[in-house]
Amino acid sequence: MHSTESNSLLGLTLQELTSLAVESGQPAYRARQLFDAVYRQKIDALEQISTLPSEYRAQLRDSGWRVGLPKISQKFVSSDGTARYLIELSDKETVETVWMPEGDDGESGDGSEAGDESGVPSGWRRATICVSSQVGCAVNCRFCLTALLGVKRNLAAGEIVGQILAVLREQGVQPPLQRVNLVFMGMGEPFLNYDNFMKAVHLLVEGTGIPETRMTVSTAGVVPRILDFGREAVRPKLAISLNAPNDTLRTEVMPLNRKWNLQELMNAARAFELRPRERLTFEYVLLDGVNDSITHARELAELIRGVRAKVNLIALNPGKELPYRTPDHGRVLEFQRILVESGTPTFIRRPRGRDIFAACGQLKRTVELPALA
Ligand code: SAH
């Protein structure tokens, strides 16, 4: 699996752009102009880079260079304001990217995102973009619709960043002036595309101006990469999809658990070095009658005891292909109560855009609006 975006400026670092400029006899500062045009101004054609002399733009074009911003091929808007974008890559593969105004970035309930900032247009508070890391997914979680696609290929760094730029452009939103959170929780397993994912993080921090502390990456539990990630100097926050409190159950719902079991996963979680005041997030999808009993909640509390963490509970987002049901809200509240009483901050994730198949675990490149029952 490799990049299909050869000759795209999008995906190149400042250093790579510097080599490009210098090799074609341009002064090195042209690289900064290209970098800003691509990642900050989000231009989608070379002709729009007004800071460059037209001869250099022509030279780039004649040697086959293009910006490489992916195309939004469809947009579906939910009754709750969530938008799901179908994004087309240069090889015609598609991924989905979700825009959540007033978004649930996994931080819901902690109050840290409230309030306005100066210079922010009225009515605007914050939004969250949920980003894909692969075309499809190889992990095969039993409760997730993306799993049904299998994995087609990894996304290149420029394709990961490109989703965000395309959506920001379409929404007319400009970080860092306007607050945007990113969650790498779309299609795919980011830690099975680690290098491209990390390169994208750096480009977004340095180029687009979204701080890494406003980003969260979620992993199904790729233990070696959790260890690597903990050593990164610049890194998003970490969420781990736990979904079961013991190995038998976890292997049943997440076959990946055979490769890295709960003991290995929890060892990595315990070894993970957190920044001051940072918490690890454990995500837990509640499946009716499967992993949502009081006993499971107590077992989960025991499993994560001592980790500076919070838990995000997600009641299953349904799909007719899935062998599980959504638990009643009462059961979800009971599960939450036990964890809270054990001393773990525990939040219930509000489902976003279920009516347009934009919610967690529902991203499967749905092209037409499904008939609403
Ligand atoms: N592969 C990574 C990134 C995707 S995050 C990971 O698994 O963490 C997607 C989140 O949605 C995960 O926490 C996953 O457990 C959850 N999820 C998957 N299917 C779901 C469904 N049908 N309903 C609710 N949550 C689901």
Q: Nearest 5 degrees, angle CA 75-CA 204-CA 228?
A: 115
Mutation pick for ligand 1 pocket among 98, 144, 242 (CB with most ligand atoms within 8 Å): 144
For residue 134, how far is its CA from the centre of ligand 1 (angstroms)? 14
For 89, the 3-state DSSP assignment is coil
Is 334 considered catalytic here?
no
Is 252 considered catalytic here?
no
Q: Which residues contact 253 (CB under 8 A, 6 or more apart)?
A: 141, 142, 143, 243, 244, 287, 290, 291
Look up the pTM and report it. Answer: 0.92
Residue 73 burial (CB count, 10 A): 13
What is the residue-level pLDDT of the chain in tens, covering all 373 positions?
333 446 999 999 999 999 999 999 999 999 999 999 999 999 999 999 999 999 999 999 999 999 999 999 999 999 999 999 999 999 999 999 999 998 655 444 433 333 344 444 445 568 999 999 999 999 999 999 999 999 999 999 999 999 999 999 999 999 988 999 999 999 999 999 999 999 999 999 999 999 999 999 999 999 999 999 999 999 999 999 999 999 999 999 999 999 999 999 999 999 999 999 999 999 999 999 999 999 999 999 999 999 999 999 999 999 899 999 999 999 999 999 999 999 999 999 999 999 999 999 889 877 755 555 4
Catalytic choice (16, 206, 360, 368): 360
